[in-house]
Amino acid sequence: MPYRAGVRVELDLAADPVDLTAVLVDIPSVSENEAELADAVERALRKLDHLEITRSGNTVLARTNLGRAQRVVFAGHIDTVPINDNLPSRREGEILHGCGTVDMKGGDAVMLHLAATLTDPRHDLTFVFYDCEEIDAARNGLGRVERELTEWLKGDVAVVCEPSNGVIEAGCQGTMRIQVRTTGQRAHTARAWMGVNAIHALGEALRRLEAYEPRTVEIDGCTYREGLQAVKIEGGVSGNVVPDEAVLTVNHRFAPDRGAHEAEQHLREVFDGFDVKVVDLAAGALPGLQAPAARELVEAAGGRPVAKLGWTDVARFAALGMPAVNFGPGDPTLAHTRQEHVHVQQIRDCAAVLTRWLTR
């Protein structure tokens, strides 16, 4: 039955995960408006006797308590970016279109399928369906769970089912934004020699960026390529005034062998002599592929894991001392676009890989 606002939706978790993805996509859940979808997920999970269920805001959590030696934590956000004339979902052959098909309701459907069908897994399982991932980090539901229900996030390995084209993306890069600030002295441009141009003073910082050679780092067989890029310049008073202040914003993506403090110290060395201020920082996550449960997943997935070039919530699990990977259906380059779509076979393949890992 097509989705209709105000009509209660009942999810069939035993259905083909492709069909389940379509149903999830059709329930609008733009960040801060996930209640309807969270309610549907909670109702469906509470029908499963083998799971313990709890809820925090619009985050729904479920877990087995079978006394297994190891626990795997699955995490997936249920919110999406604003709809862009790409709902309801539509199926064209082997392609499913719609907002959230990639980021990340295909991954959520896989998690729900596992929660319903794996009643006797070889590891204990925790599933976290969380809200507000697509907006300010302070609102992220996973962060709230970490603060209020920390025990629910503990395990031996974490799998974040963000889109990864169906291959294992291990760990993630750290990210840092800094501001390089220069000061000068105002003057009329007709008497420019009486002033000091703060914008001109950024020239040396830009030359250092132009000459910078980023590192390439291999960890656990995964290659992380770092980056250092100017992303914004601010300055200027008016068309006839020598500016007395200018700010260059720089983004640094760093390999997870460097901690946040090391990355900051590196940038202060690069811009030695300048006024540098850190304005945003998120540490990366080591791949952790040597952990036994992680090695088993790599074997089940086949192929070669790749480095995650970007930041994801795997870093939250790494901060808790857990190895974590990204593994989910969908091409991440299509996320947040009007053309968002997923190959349905990727959804089925991801479900099959994870089932094989957890049942063999």
Residue of 286, 347, 357, 272 lying closest to 108 (CA atoms): 347
Task: Tell me what the mean pLDDT of segment 39-51 comes to.
Answer: 97
Q: Which two tokens stand for residue 271?
A: 């811009």
Per the structure block, which two tokens stand in for 94? 């082997």
Buried b (16+ CB within 10 A) or exposed e, 49-61: ebbeeebbbbbbb
Using the CB atoms, write b or e for 282-319: b if 16+ within 10 Å. Answer: bbbbbbbbebebbebbbebbeeebbbbbebbbbbbbbe
Interatomic CA distance for residues 310 and 162, integer angstroms? 12
The secondary structure of residue 200, as a DSSP letter, is G
Region 169-189 average pLDDT: 95
DSSP string, 79-138: -BSPP-S--S-EEETTEEESTTIIIIIHHHHHHHHHHHH-SS-SSEEEEEEES--SS-GG
| Sign of CA pseudo-dihedral 132, 175, 199, 210 | negative
Quick one: pLDDT band at residue 1, thresholds 50, 70, 90?
A: low
Q: Are 128 and 179 in contact, with CB atoms under 8 Å apart?
A: no
Residue type, 339: Q
Averaged pLDDT for residues 13-22 = 96
Q: How remote is the C-alpha of 25 from its chain's centroid?
A: 19
Whether 227 has a pLDDT exceeding 90, the answer reads yes
The per-residue DSSP string of 145-167 comes to: HHHH-GGGG--SEEEE----TTS
First to last CA, the chain: 36
Three-state secondary-structure class, residue 229: strand
Mean pLDDT of 147-170: 94
pLDDT band for 272, please (50, 70, 90 cuts): very high
Query: Active-site residue numbers?
Result: 79, 133
User: Kind and range of the H or E element at 113?
Assistant: helix 106-117
Tens digit of pLDDT for each residue in 236-248? 999 999 999 999 9
Beta carbons within 8 Å of 353's beta carbon, 6+ residues apart: 166, 300, 301, 327
pLDDT above 80 for 303: no
pLDDT band at 290 (very low <50, low <70, confident <90, very high): confident
Q: For the residues 328-338, what does the mean pLDDT come to? A: 94
Which amino acid makes up residue 180?
V
Q: In the predicted model, what is the mean pLDDT of residues 70-97?
A: 97
Query: How much is the mean pLDDT over the chain?
Result: 94
Using alpha carbons, select from 311, 54, 69 the residue that is nearest to residue 177. Answer: 311
The predicted pLDDT at position 291 comes to 84
Alpha carbon distance 128, 130 (integer Å)? 6
Number of H helices, E strands in the chain: 9, 19
Is pLDDT above 80 for 6?
no
Helix (H, G, I), strand (E, B) or coil at 55: strand
Of 185 and 303, the structure prediction assigns the larger pLDDT to 185
Burial of 279 (0-12, 13-18, 19+ CB in 10 A): exposed
> In the predicted model, is pLDDT for residue 214 greater than 70?
yes
DSSP state of 196: B
Q: Please report, for the chain, the start and end positions of each structural domain, with discontinuous segments joined by +.
A: 17-171+285-359, 175-282
Percent of the chain with pLDDT over 90: 86
Q: What pLDDT does 310 receive? A: 84
pLDDT digits (tens, 9 = 90+) for 51-72: 999 999 999 999 999 999 999 9
Reported CATH class of domain 17-171+285-359? alpha beta
The whole-angstrom separation of Cα 311 and Cα 254 is: 10
Residue closest to 348 by CA, chosen among 111, 17, 118? 17
Helix (H, G, I), strand (E, B) or coil at 250: strand
DSSP β-bridge partners for residue 133: none
- The answer, yes or no, to whether residue 4 has pLDDT greater than 90, is no
What is the phi/psi pair of residue 169, to 5°? -105, 115
Output the CATH code of domain 175-282: 3.30.70.360
CB atoms < 10 A from the CB of 27, how many?
A: 22
